[in-house]
Amino acid sequence: MKPTDAELEILQVLWSKGPSTVRQVHDELTKTRDVGYTTTLKLMQIMQEKSILGRTEEARSHVYHVLIGEEETQKSLLDRFVETAFRGSATKLVIQALGQHKASREELDEIRALLNEQLNQNSPD
């Protein structure tokens, strides 16, 4: 699944808030940028047609919910990004990311643990 940037914004709202009406999603989106209500409505209708969102009717309101997983979507987007921007090299991605953004001690510990896990999986027994 390869959602557009606008679709991804809607997905992020629904992943964090859970099932929501168009009004609720729109109110969240307008906290960070100017977007029309009808634009949000149309996007969510298109996302339903694409089986990205599901819709139920509750008390005369349409409530939308996500049909695709957040982690699965992130993996798909990351795979595409690594392939196109870094020619498939995870190493280049990590070097670029760490070179451009300062990681906290906790983040570095998490990265170190992941690297150790990878090394242990790849070492001969």
Closest by CA position to 66, among listed 51, 76, 79? 51
- pLDDT reported for residue 98: 87
pLDDT in tens, 38-75: 999 999 999 999 999 999 998 888 999 999 999 999 99
pLDDT one-digit tens code per residue, 69-125: 999 999 989 999 999 999 999 889 988 988 888 889 999 999 999 989 988 887 776
d(CA 44, CA 10) in angstroms, rounded, equals 8
Question: Taking the model in full, what pTM does it have?
Answer: 0.76
- Please tell me the predicted confidence (pLDDT) of residue 105: 92
Q: Which pLDDT score is estimated for 125?
A: 61
